[in-house]
């Protein structure tokens, strides 16, 4: 059964790792958010793509959620010690963003292939092959789309400054996906959606991780016109996000911080909303939105739980 996941962030990567364990992984395609991409110390870093690659290659540090399990940060610590010796200035030397020693190899290979003029989609598929991944991993676009956040103080922050440097503590007043209007879907993205029998939006931040993908012209329309069963998994459980700032971001933008709020955001895009058992009381409100609520244990504390959730979802929608 051909499955296409609209993936961004750790929750997505976890569920995709689960899907790859319970289905023919050659029938799994992930369309990944690149709005978090950032130039870090001369390197093109694509966090959501690498998080998916590492989860699918079973190389990830499940607790940290990003980067590699067997990791060291010798180069990064040395960089920080050099930066400390410089006179303090206003330049942001990005020493707040940690690149692990083994993780560096991924950025170096991506950077070299990009320098050779290869589009991000080809580079990403080359990395997937290098990691022995049989599923298809696609960036949402080869073009630069960047999530930019405006705080209630009026500051405009690039994503990693907001998320990592400032620990996503800023209150937000606006979110933009700069470059989206001029972007086009990467090669294979629309075909993957059109060819899918199931489209899944994993438990990711609807506004920070999924919306940038839907902002690429043609993607949302392909999903609404798709003949597939389309299911989204609520990233909000018991009124809170399991990881990251999804609860505060939804609240700041006036959405209900609940599976119902998530369902309203995806109204028209999905047929099924998967919600956690602790939120079962919301099922009738989901039905009122003309979606089918599917109540499951959606907490993925490890690869086995991710595989079980993936199987439960495929069983429920098939």
Does 162 contact ligand FO1 by CB under 6 A?
A: no
Does 177 contact ligand FO1 by CB under 6 A?
A: no
Question: Toward ligand FO1, which CB reaches closer, 8 or 293?
Answer: 8
Question: Toward ligand FO1, which CB reaches closer, 3 or 49?
Answer: 49
Taking the complex as a whole, the smallest distance from the CB of residue 1 to ligand FO1 amounts, in Å, to 28
Does 29 contact ligand FO1 by CB under 6 A?
A: no
Q: How many beta carbons lie within 10 A of that of residue 156, not counting itself? A: 13
Radius of gyration of the chain (CA): 19
Q: Taking Cα atoms as reference points, which of 214, 147, 201 lies closest to residue 174?
A: 147
Q: How far apart, in whole angstroms, are the C-alpha atoms of residue 189 and residue 31?
A: 7
**Which region among 19-27, 129-137, 157-165, 271-279 touches ligand FO1 (by CB under 6 A)?**
157-165
Does 51 contact ligand FO1 by CB under 6 A?
A: yes
Question: Toward ligand FO1, which CB reaches closer, 36 or 276?
Answer: 36
Q: By CB under 6 A, name the one of 43, 83, 104, 164 that touches ligand FO1.
A: 164
**Which region among 40-48, 119-127, 142-150, 298-306 touches ligand FO1 (by CB under 6 A)?**
40-48
Does 207 contact ligand FO1 by CB under 6 A?
A: no
CA 146 vs. chain centroid, Å, equals 13
Question: Toward ligand FO1, which CB reaches closer, 169 or 281?
Answer: 169
Does 45 contact ligand FO1 by CB under 6 A?
A: yes
Q: By CB under 6 A, name the one of 36, 142, 158, 285 that touches ligand FO1.
A: 36
Identify residues 53-72 at the interface with ligand FO1 (CB under 6 A).
Answer: 66-67
Q: By CB under 6 A, name the one of 14, 56, 68, 97 that touches ligand FO1.
A: 97
Residues found near ligand FO1 in the complex (CB under 6 A): 9, 36, 45, 47-48, 50-51, 66-67, 97-99, 103, 160, 163-164
């Amino acid at each position: 059964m051909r499955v296409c996941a609209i993936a961004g962030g750790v929750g997505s990567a976890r569920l995709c790792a689960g899907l790859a364990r319970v289905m023919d992984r050659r029938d799994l395609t992930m369309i990944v958010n690149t709005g978090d991409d950032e130039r870090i110390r001369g390197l093109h870093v694509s966090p959501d793509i690498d998080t998916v690659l590492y989860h699918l290659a079973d190389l990830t540090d499940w607790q940290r959620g990003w980067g590699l399990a067997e990791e060291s940060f010798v180069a990064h610590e040395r960089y920080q010690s050099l930066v400390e010796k410089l006179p303090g200035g206003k330049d942001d030397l990005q020493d707040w963003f940690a690149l692990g020693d083994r993780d560096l190899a991924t950025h170096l290979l991506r950077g070299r292939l990009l320098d050779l003029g290869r589009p991000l989609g080809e580079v990403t598929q080359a990395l997937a092959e290098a990691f022995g991944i049989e599923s298809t991993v696609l960036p949402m676009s080869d073009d630069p789309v960047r999530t930019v956040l405006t705080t209630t103080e009026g500051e405009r922050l690039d994503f990693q400054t907001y998320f990592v440097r400032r620990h996503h503590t800023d209150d937000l007043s606006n979110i933009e996906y700069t470059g989206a209007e001029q972007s086009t879907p990467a090669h294979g993205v629309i075909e993957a959606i059109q060819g899918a029998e199931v489209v899944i939006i994993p438990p990711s931040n609807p506004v920070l991780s999924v919306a940038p993908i839907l902002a690429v012209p043609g993607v949302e329309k392909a999903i609404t016109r798709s003949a597939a069963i389309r299911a989204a998994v609520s990233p909000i459980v018991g009124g809170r996000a399991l990881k990251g700032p999804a609860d505060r971001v939804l609240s700041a933008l006036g959405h209900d911080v609940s599976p119902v709020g998530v369902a309203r955001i995806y109204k028209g895009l999905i047929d099924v909303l998967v919600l956690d058992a602790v939120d079962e009381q919301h099922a009738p409100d989901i039905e009122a939105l003309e979606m089918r609520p599917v109540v499951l244990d959606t907490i993925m504390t490890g690869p086995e739980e991710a595989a079980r959730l993936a199987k439960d979802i495929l069983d429920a929608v098939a």
